Structure 1
Amino acid sequence: MSSNNLPQEYPLRNVQARFDYKLFNPNGKLSDSWLQNQYQRLSIQTTDVPLGQLPLAQLPLPLPIPSSRDSRNRKRIRNGREFPGEEGYEKESTDSGDEMLISDTDSNSQISNQGGFNSRDNSLAHPPKRRLTTSALSDISSNNLSFNQDQTTIDIQRQTNSDHNIITTGQLPRTPNVMNSPSHTPVSDFEEEQPQQLPLPSPSASPVQSVDTKTPVYDQVENQIIRIPNTQNEFLDTLIKLSGYLNERNQTHLVYKLLQNVNRSSLSSLNCLIHNSLKRDLISNFPLEITLQILSYLDHKTLLSISSVCKSWSEIINNNSIWIGLLKRDKFITDEKIIHQELSNSKELIKEWGSTTSGVKINLAETLYKKRYTIYKRWMNPTYQPKRISVPVTGHGSKVVTCLQHDDDKIVTGVDDKSIIIYSTKTGELLRVLDGHEGGVWALKYTGNTLVTGSTDRTVRVWNIKTGKCTHVFRGHTSTIRCLDIIHPAIIGKDLNGDDIIFPQFPLLVTGSRDHNINVWKLPICNEDEDDNDIDENIEERVFDSNEADNPYLITVLSGHTDSVRSVSGYGNIIISGSYDSTVRVWDLLNNGQCRYVLKGHQHKVYSTAIDFSSKTCFSGSMDSNINIWNFETGKLLKTLEGHSSLVGLLNLQDGVLVSAAADTTLRIWDPKTGESLTKLKGHTGAITCFEHDGFRVVSGSDRMLKLWDVKDGKCTRDLLTDVTGNIWQVRIDYKRCVAAVQRLADDDENETFIEILDFSEPYHKNNDNDNNNNNNNT
């Protein structure tokens, strides 16, 4: 049967072998041809270096006299006679009296692997001491060496005048490599780059020392072999010590030669030993600073996994700085003050979110990361049901909630029927009702214990939240206060001395009105440290009430707009205002409130603005469906963001993410630096009435819908409320809660306004069963 007709069950019959190996001897030692060729390439281009050009610390060691089993014809010298079969050694005098102890080893020795010391009593022999004159260090030759037993030294004479020429010209002798069989490998050179004439260093610089011709002094190498080994252990100890005088290349060669004489079983054991020796514990062996830098690129799951490998890794990863850096990198907490505040309350943090494993050292920063990450995953888990509190807006029926703000303790709402209502965030309990305005409240903002409100009654009022008392009434606007902002002191640049420029020096209040003007006030701060027990609500405090003319808190009036001011955004010394006159104006408070630029580019009313002080840019949304990006330092229009098909009534810039909401039922996520449209959020069936985002999630409200979106993928994660029957008036979020003002059917089947509190921050240990039921294994 021909090879072409072979059955299909032998598909590799005609495939040529890729590797070749054979048993070199009956003892089962392996000789791989391909490995031999690779080793040959390492030395094929090397050059034999004269011993005189080597650093003394790298001179070759004395080798034993070759045995009679050497394949080359040499003369053996024993007891003063020459024996055939080994080369003879000759002695010649030199011009210089300086001599050095050195071996007679040729750099390309062809001694057989089976060769060794000549037999003497215990089968071990000590090679005779030899000397090499310094004048002959550079022209050593293996063809005219002689051994003199009486002198017990070896003197090497220059061969011919041509040898001297080789030294002076820098040409190096080259000894042919023997590669006729796998048992012969080239002996590598000692150095690839050598000076032509190397001066001898001082005796203290090298183990090889110069000696006097009359009083021989043994160098360190001679001291290692002066005593004849009597046992194999002593012989091995001597070899180990002598191997330290070889350079790295020749040490590799020595190991290679030894491994050639090892059987397969021993090679297998050595393979495991070498493999394990090559393993390195980088995490523990690196300096701590480098280790922490490497670990900072890992996510929390990887860190927790590798902390379980061993105790040393666990101790390194149990480091506050790693987890604080992870909190900032993942944007769970970016403010150092908030991190410090949460870590300072360690008892509560450990009690609610700490590990329950006994004997485990609790890391506070890791526990804080676990808390924030767990809460975030609850938001994004559609099956998780947050704690819900519904509070009816008592006495207001279905009135519109025009503005809302909240924190961990309180929820402050403004309603279009003159009142400001404050609720407890944790329980929903009604805390206070602030009365004083004579018209609907359309703007509010608070900082600390100080609340500011603007109303259709054309006044601005300042309140003490703890006492519920109005402390100041600012008059001056001639129409409804439609928008306001509080500007806190901030670093806005450097002065000529390199010091920080901080502006303003105290908090400022900016109010925009339908009277076309913007007023800037010094904000009176209420006492932050006042204890609730010290408050006597029966004491009537005098209210500061003044008009524009004699009000010491009024700093300046910014005039220029020709229509209602709909939006104001401030930071540092810059105020950005948007108006129904289709323009955006830039005001500089450092320049007495002068208008820097009138930014023209919109075709219709401007409803919303945002500012990014660090990049010197501002954003404006208009009824013309566009969003403009401006450079407020130059007044230039940088880019127009197109995509919406109706009024862009809301803008929010947070953590490098710009989100817009429009009356076309959609929201869009933009890159504020490039203006690229990242995602379009579709799902609402009516105009977006309110939204807020924190860089992770977007919560948006429209008629009968309150939706949660994931910023990363732009997908709707869940409907937060499913029983809304009317409008969503306002919504605000933080990492713990979502607070919304909504309309839904009451007991009398009429729409009523409710404050809905959705809490995702129930402590882990209290909610462990609920989390497990919702498949929310977060850590």
Structure 2
Amino acid sequence: MKAKSTEFISPRSERFKNRQLRQELADLSKQASDTSLISCNDIDIKLECPTTPCCISTPILSPCIKPARSKRRDTCRGTDTPSQLGRAKKRREDKRTFIPVIEAKTELVVTREEIKIIPEVEDWVRSFEQFSNSKQSLALSMLVPRCQPVRILELVELINPQLCRDFITNLPRELSLKILSYLAPEDLLIISLTSRQWYIMCSDLLLWKNKCNYLSQYEAITDSNALRKVISSTSKLSSHFGPQNKFKQLFLAKKSIQNNWRNSDKPPKILKGHDDSVITCLQVKKDLIVSGSDDNTLKLWSISSLKCVHILNGHTGGVWCSEFDGSIVVSGSTDRNLRVWDARNGNCVHVLEGHTSTVRCVSLCGNTVVSGSRDSSIRIWNVKSGKCVHVLNGHTAAVRCVKYNGEFVVSGGYDWTVKVWSPKSAECLHTLQGHANRVYSLEFDGEHIISGSLDTIIKVWDVRTGNLLHDLVGHRSLTSSMSLRDKILVSGNADSTVKIWDTGRGELKLGLQGKDMHKSAVTCVQLVDPFIVTSSDDGTVKLWDLTTGEFVRNLIQLKSQGSGGVVWRIFADQKRLVAAVGSRHGTEETRLVIMDFDL
């Protein structure tokens, strides 16, 4: 239908009084009816029309354009009466075929020349640009309330695209990575799903390397089923988005294992041994477990085969302590001797004689082992030659605990003191006095000594100066077990409580209490980020959240819990938990319980 140029206007164009302008644009619209670009006085309006006829709304006029590819035969509404136009407009809006200039399917390119069409608008814009910021804000606050709702909607649609900018891909890569570095790894995984560009940016190798800054936490995961599954699942993505990010894969594997700690219901594996005796010591290295007992023996177990590999016979008294580095086992007994064993064949390599009473504690580092005895002496041995290198005398009562890191020997005794020794000169460097009762437990990170005592107080010392740094007060009985990582200390006490301390500030962070707390003395604590694992005389092993202190779940509950069932020792790393359990009254069979979370 051929429209009259003087009548070819949209309903909204009645607001404009410039009839000559309406005539000019109407003529142009007829010329552009088979194109997708209208050019008028250097004005470019790019149209992206749908498959149905539509009216493209410009700031001045709404010409009707029927796209050439449309198969529908519709009459141009330009010559309809106002009432017909109103009804047609409503039908188009109902069918969502009417697309204002601000909708997504119409891309409007507006140049500054457009404003020159109406001089008064150009003057208004120039005046607005010359306003100060405060005057511009005032002008907008006065203008918006005077606008009709349809104008407000147009403003919103015009403003939104200005606010929705992909700043991550627009910024320099270094700056974008700096911004992303402040996000938690979990958040990086979520936003990487935004787009291809965001996925590539959020998979940056250095970004994830910094997230995995505690690499020691991931050592146990480098050879895990979880990591192999992650590598397999991401191999297809890597072919599209670039090489695989090993640090990101490690993190994903760790998250999978952590989820299993929280939720896995896989039945544990059981290793029965030591009859009804007490398991006094427990170490785990890779696939091997070493358990020592008051039945005078040690046993080497294979986790993969669930079999006892070797029984270490030789001691004539109960085994009270042992150390295991993966190749040799060193054990101390009530028979006053230490024995060095070859873990590969179970043979006794050396018998270390010299102590005159029960060997109560040992610490192994390299080829040197340090032993403490109830005879109040400390001995330093070479495990290769089996010779005693030094005897450290100074304690006036039994030595209950000892730590050795290659540079210092630290010992705690029943004489209420902690001593620092030089292993080379056998000289006592510091005697740390302050406890009011026996010292039962030690932690040592090379810089700070943490000592736990029957006096209920935990003390933090500087190993080089011997100065007391902090008193950690809060327990009500003997601190029997501690676990230290960086400046976070977890302590287990005979008062049945577990506490988390900041040793740098000397402050209590959290106490693991409430209705799920242990009902009897805590026997062992293990810090496995982001969890704490605790065991008790009440026959349970519990899992706690390190950050919040909240109880997660019971990992082990003995049938005879509360009636003699005991968890004596536990070992936990990122992938597994090994617990030595039994009872004092024959109500529970002595055994090792193995829980694997690397599924």
TM-score (norm 1): 0.54
Q: 2:280 aligns with which of 379, 394, 402?
A: 402
Query: Which residue does 1:303 correspond to in 2?
Result: 188
Cα distance between partner residues in 1 of 2:540 and 2:254:
27
Deviation at 1:679, TM superposition (A): 1.8
Identity of aligned residues (%): 36
> Within the alignment, does 1:389 sit opposite 2:269 as a pair?
yes
Query: What is the CA deviation profile of residues 514-559 of structure 1, one whole-angstrom value per residue up to 9, with x for unaligned ones?
Result: 11111122343xxxxxxxxxxxxxxxxxxx6x6xxxx3xx332211
Distance 1:182 1:277, change over 3 A: closer
- Counterpart in the other structure of 1:128: none
In the alignment, the residues of structure 2 paired with residue 647 and residue 269 of structure 1 have an alpha-carbon distance, to the nearest angstrom, of 73
CA contact (8 A) 1:353 1:370 kept: no
Higher helix share: 2
1:595 matched to 2:428? The reply is: yes
String of CA shifts for 1:109-158, please: whole Å, max 9, x gaps: xxxx7999xxxxxxxxxxxxxxxxxxxxxxxxxxxxxxxxxxxxxxxxxx
Contact 1:706–1:719 under 8 Å retained in 2: yes
* Residue aligning to 2:375: 515
Deviation of 1:404 (Å):
0.2
How far does residue 608 in structure 1 lie from its aligned partner after superposition? 0.8
Question: Which deviations, in whole Å up to 9, do the C-alpha atoms of 1:445-504 show, x marking residues without a partner?
Answer: 11131221111222222221112112222222121111111235xxxxxxxxxxxxxxxx
Q: Distance in 1 between matches of 2:255 and 2:329?
A: 32
Counterpart pick for 1:294 among 174, 179, 200: 179
Counterpart position of 2:454: 623
Alignment of 1:82-93 (within 5 A): none
Residue type of the partner of 1:604? N
2:296, 2:313 within 8 Å by CA — same for their partners in 1?
yes
Q: Give the AA of the match of 1:418.
A: N
Change (3 A) 1:114 1:563: closer
Please give the alpha-carbon distance, in whole angstroms, between the structure 2 residues aligned to 1:281 and 1:355. Answer: 29
Letter in 2 for 1:428: L
- 2:592 counterpart of 1:755: yes
**C-alpha separation in 1, matches of 2:126 and 2:299:** 96
After superposition, the Cα gap between the structure-2 partners of 1:27 and 1:735, relative to the gap in structure 1 and judged at 3 Å, is farther
Letter in structure 1 aligned against 2:436: Q
Which residue pairs with 2:441 in the alignment? 608
Pairing partner for 1:639 from 470, 477, 489:
470
Note the 1:236-275 alignment, pairs <5 A.
none
* Partner residue of 2:253 out of 354, 364, 371: 371
SS in 1 for 2:251: helix
Deviation at residue 183 of structure 1 after TM alignment: 7.8
1:464 aligns with 2:464: no
- Which of residues 534, 538, 551 is equivalent to 1:716? 551
Confirm or deny: 8 A CA contact 2:482 2:525 kept in the other structure: no
Structure 2 residue aligned with 1:324: 209
Aligned-pair distance for 1:353? 6.0
Q: Identify the residue that residue 707 of structure 1 maps to in structure 2.
A: 542
1:685 shift after superposition: 1.7
Aligned to 1:738: 577
Structure 1 Cα separation of the partners of residues 498 and 292 of structure 2:
25
Describe the SS at the equivalent of 1:313: helix
Q: Which residue of 2 aligns with 1:36?
A: none
Gaps of 5+ in 1: 1-22, 29-112, 117-180, 190-263, 489-506, 525-543, 763-779
> C-alpha displacement at 1:363, in angstroms?
4.2
Indicate if the aligned counterparts of 1:744 and 1:754 stay in contact, CA closer than 8 A.
no
AA of the residue aligned to 2:401: S
Q: Which residue of 2 aligns with 1:73?
A: none
RMSD of the TM alignment (CA)?
Answer: 3.6
Amino acid across the alignment from 1:705: T
Tell me the CA shift for residue 273 of structure 1.
7.2
Deviation of 1:672 after TM superposition, in Å, equals: 0.9
- C-alpha distance in structure 2 between counterparts of 1:660 and 1:700, whole Å: 10
Deviation at 1:318, TM superposition (A): 2.8
Q: Which residue of 2 aligns with 1:102?
A: none
Aligned partner of 1:417 among 292, 295, 303: 295
- The separation in 2 between residues aligned to 1:407 and 1:709, in whole angstroms, is 24
Give the alignment of 1:187-586 within 5 angstroms. 276=161, 280-328=165-213, 331=214, 333-334=215-216, 341-342=222-223, 349-351=227-229, 354-355=232-233, 361=239, 363-381=245-263, 384-393=264-273, 396-487=274-365, 507-524=367-384, 551=387, 554-586=388-420
Deviation at 1:323, TM superposition (A): 3.0
1:560 Cα deviation after fit? 0.3
CA distance in 2, matches of 1:465, 1:696: 32
Amino acid at match of 2:190: S
Q: Residue by residue, what CA displacement relative to the aligned partner does 1:386-436 show, whole Å, maximum 9, x if unpaired?
A: 34112211xx32101000011330111011122111112234222111112
Q: Give the secondary structure class of the aligned counterpart of 2:169.
A: helix
Q: In the TM superposition, what is the alpha-carbon distance from 1:304 to its structure 2 partner?
A: 2.3
Change (3 A) 1:115 1:701: closer
Q: Letter of the aligned partner of 1:596 in structure 2? A: L
Matched with 2:532 is 698
Whether contact under 8 Å (1:730, 1:741) holds in the other structure is yes
TM-score, normalised by the number of residues in structure 2? 0.69
Residues 638 and 656 (structure 1), Cα distance of their counterparts in 2 relative to 1, 3 Å cut:
closer
What is the identity, as a one-letter code, of the residue corresponding to 1:312?
Q
Aligned partner of 2:204: which letter? N
Q: 1:688 aligns with which of 518, 522, 528?
A: 522
Q: Deviations over 1:158-206 (max 9, x none)?
A: xxxxxxxxxxxxxxxxxxxxxxx958739979xxxxxxxxxxxxxxxxx
Q: Which moved more, 1:663-672 or 1:630-639?
A: 630-639
The within-5 A match list for 1:64-83 is none
Q: In 2, distance between residues paired with 1:186 and 1:700?
A: 69
Name the CA shift for 1:518/1:421 in 2 (closer, same or farther; >3 Å).
same
Tell me how far 1:352 sits from its aligned partner: 6.6
State how far apart, in whole Å, the 2-side matches of 1:434 and 1:448 are. Answer: 15
- Change in Cα spacing, 1:521 to 1:288, as seen in structure 2 (3 Å) is farther
| Greater strand content | 2
Matched, 1:656 2:493: no
In structure 2, the CA distance between the partners of 1:583 and 1:187, relative to structure 1 (3 Å rule), is: closer
Q: Distance in 2 between matches of 1:268 and 1:472?
A: 88
Task: Please give the per-residue CA displacement for 1:587-624, whole angstroms capped at 9, x wherever unaligned.
Answer: 1335x1211221111111111111232xx321111111
CA contact (8 A) 1:463 1:472 kept: yes
Unmatched runs of 5 consecutive residues or more in structure 2: 1-13, 20-115, 132-147
Cα separation, partners in 2 of 1:26 and 1:368, compared to 1, 3 Å: same
How far apart, CA to CA, are the structure 1 residues paired with 2:218 and 2:272? 37
CA contact (8 A) 2:375 2:397 kept: yes
Q: Does the CA contact (< 8 Å) of 2:580 and 2:591 recur in 1?
A: yes
Cα offsets for 1:256-293 (capped at 9, x unmatched)? xxxxxxxx999998996786467543333444443333
275-284 or 286-295, larger mean C-alpha shift: 275-284
For residue 472 of structure 1, what is the amino acid of its counterpart?
H
Confirm or deny: 8 A CA contact 1:657 1:695 kept in the other structure. Answer: no
CA-to-aligned-CA distance 1:711-731 (integer Å, 9 cap, x gap): 222222212122342111111
- Structure 1 pair 744–477 and aligned structure 2 pair: CA distance change class (3 A): closer
Distance 1:321 1:631, change over 3 A: same
For the 8 Å contact 1:723–1:744, the answer to whether it is kept is: no
Structure 2: how far apart are the matches of 1:188 and 1:363? 52
What does residue 249 of structure 1 align with? none
